[in-house]
Amino acid sequence: MPDHHTLDIKRVAILFAGGPAPAANAVISTAAFSFLEEGAQVFGIKHGYSRLAEYTAAGPLQEGTDYIRFTHDLLTNARSSRGIMIGTARTNPGKHVSSPEHLKDAELVAPLRRVYEGLCSLEVDALISIGGDDTLKTANKLKMFQDNLPADARRFPVVHLPKTIDNDYSGIDFTFGFFTAAETLAEEIRNLNYDAAAGKAYFLCEAMGRSAGWLAYGAAIAGEASLVMSVEDINGELADEEVDPETGKTRKVMVIDKVIDKMVDMMIAREREGREFGTIVIAEGLAEFLPAKHLAGISRDDHGHINISAINLAALISGLLKDRYKERTGKDRKINGLQLGYESRCAPPHAYDVMLGSSLGVGAYRALVEEKLNGVMVSVSGQFDLHYVPFDKLVDPQTLVTKVRFIQPNSDFHRLARFLETCTDS
């Protein structure tokens, strides 16, 4: 039971945005439970910012449709359940705000104002935001929007809880759902290993991980893949630059021929050892490094990300790999391209992720009630030790953009994958 304090927060809203992650309900339910135990009302905002961003035009928020009131009965057995009990969405009310000056422009901040007014209509005393780096950016902008309000305006603190199966978050060691997602994909890869061996074939698996390769690497290591490649590996001879025809800016791209040759080198090396099969894991974020000719006509979302699913990177790379393998060896080899990831986002959470998610949920209570904090991200390190990272430590003060945490080249984790792969030296 939480330590008893004088509770200034009588009503709290919990909101989840972005892609699903295992243990989402552990985070939501423990945060809600902590406040319910203190006698507060807890509202679960349904489907992210989608309804709040249209608050004024769409009329008053409706209980059951736009939000729910948490009860102890609703939270029973929720902690280890799959899915997201309040739903999610990718609506970005801060998409037009990319510098502090924009917060003074009434038109640019209009969606943020509607979110603020929608939450004020529920008379909330605090907002708990759960989501990825884009949701962290929105939480920061909502706090800054309130900072610019007149002195007598209603204000409520904003606390953010980090979520992503990609594990590419600055300010926390591991994000909830990462290990469950990695194990789910690893099990699929292990199955594919046996399938590949049976038919002397290869599977090329595209794993989720838009910005960094943590999930691809984790799944490849645990799933005993033959090779893994992610954005962190696009350097040296595998990298080049080109001018983006749409923006006119120079961007880093991968040298596809050399990337494919690296894969063929591995296949030939395995054949020398008598293994004419295997699995290759690539991170979906490699699509961002494709030359412009492969991205023509591909749409982008509210956060500026390309629609990776429309590219089907696995099919593209597996086709190029099959052709290059035959060109170099004179032999045919069946290579199947598969997209993995969606099936991992709502997998039953492992105990570690449930414990991590629960720590973050309780951390929201501790940050708001015990520490009286505003504009912080709850973090967990060591043996589930809570600490609180101010937004301004995570978000660039000029661009309002967050910093991605990549796998550091030549770090022990990066070297682990290389160590376990087939040596390609002759």
Give the other-Cβ count within 10 Å of 277's Cβ: 22
Describe the crossing of helices 133-147 and 110-121 by its angle, rounded to 10 degrees. 80
Question: Is the pLDDT confidence value at 262 over 50?
Answer: yes
Q: Domains of the chain: which residue ranges?
A: 11-175+349-393, 181-345+408-420
DSSP structure class, residue 369: I
Task: Render pLDDT for 96-135 as a digit per residue (tens, 0 to 9).
Answer: 999 999 999 999 999 999 999 999 999 999 999 999 999 9
| pLDDT reported for residue 328 | 97
Question: With the CA atoms of 409, 411, 412 and 415 taken in that order, what torsion angle do they form, in degrees rounded to the nearest 10?
Answer: 20
Question: Is the pLDDT confidence value at 3 over 60?
Answer: no
Closest CA to 304 of 90, 108, 49, 19: 90
CA distance 332 to 283: 25
- pLDDT (average), residues 74-101: 95
β partners of residue 279: 203
Please report which confidence band the pLDDT of residue 259 belongs to, taking 50, 70 and 90 as the band edges: very high
Please give the CATH topology (third level) of the domain spanning 11-175+349-393.
Rossmann fold (3.40.50)
Closest CA to 111 of 65, 150, 56: 56
Q: What is the mean pLDDT of the chain?
A: 93
- pLDDT (average), residues 73-98: 95
Most confident residue range from 122-126, 289-293, 305-309, 312-316? 122-126
Question: Is the pLDDT confidence value at 287 over 70?
Answer: yes
Question: Is the pLDDT confidence value at 86 over 90?
Answer: yes
| pLDDT reported for residue 220 | 97
| pLDDT reported for residue 299 | 73
Question: Is the pLDDT confidence value at 246 over 80?
Answer: no
Please report which confidence band the pLDDT of residue 1 belongs to, taking 50, 70 and 90 as the band edges: very low
- pLDDT (average), residues 189-193: 97
Domain 11-175+349-393 matches domain 181-345+408-420 at the CATH topology level: yes
- pLDDT (average), residues 5-10: 73
| pLDDT reported for residue 221 | 97
Task: Render pLDDT for 53-76 as a digit per residue (tens, 0 to 9).
Answer: 999 877 899 999 999 999 999 999
| pLDDT reported for residue 301 | 65
CA distance 305 to 95: 12
Question: Is the pLDDT confidence value at 297 over 90?
Answer: no
Lowest mean pLDDT among 95-109, 189-203, 212-226, 304-318: 304-318
Find out whether 140 and 395 touch, Cβ atoms under 8 Å: yes
263's tokens: 């894969």
| pLDDT reported for residue 245 | 76
List, in sequence order, the alpha helices (H) in 41-125: 55-58, 72-75, 110-121
Lowest mean pLDDT among 209-213, 272-276, 365-369: 209-213
- pLDDT (average), residues 292-303: 72
Question: Is the pLDDT confidence value at 426 over 90?
Answer: no
Which secondary structure element, helix H or strand E, spans residue 337, and what is its range?
Answer: strand 335-339
What's the first-to-final CA gap in the chain, in angstroms? Answer: 62
Please report which confidence band the pLDDT of residue 6 belongs to, taking 50, 70 and 90 as the band edges: low
Please report which confidence band the pLDDT of residue 312 belongs to, taking 50, 70 and 90 as the band edges: confident
CA distance 268 to 256: 18
Pick the CATH number of 181-345+408-420 from 3.40.50.620, 3.30.420.40, 3.40.50.720, 3.40.50.460: 3.40.50.460
For the question of whether the overall pTM of this predicted structure is more than 0.75, the answer is yes
Q: Give the CA distances from residue 280 to residues 236, 254, 359, in Å, rounded to whole numbers and listed in that order.
A: 21, 17, 35
3's tokens: 């330590």
CA distance 387 to 379: 5
| pLDDT reported for residue 292 | 81
350's tokens: 């492992």
74's tokens: 């609703």
CA distance 349 to 23: 5
Closest CA to 175 of 228, 218, 232, 126: 218
Please report which confidence band the pLDDT of residue 136 belongs to, taking 50, 70 and 90 as the band edges: very high
β partners of residue 158: 127
The residues near 76 (Cβ < 8 Å, ≥ 6 apart) are none
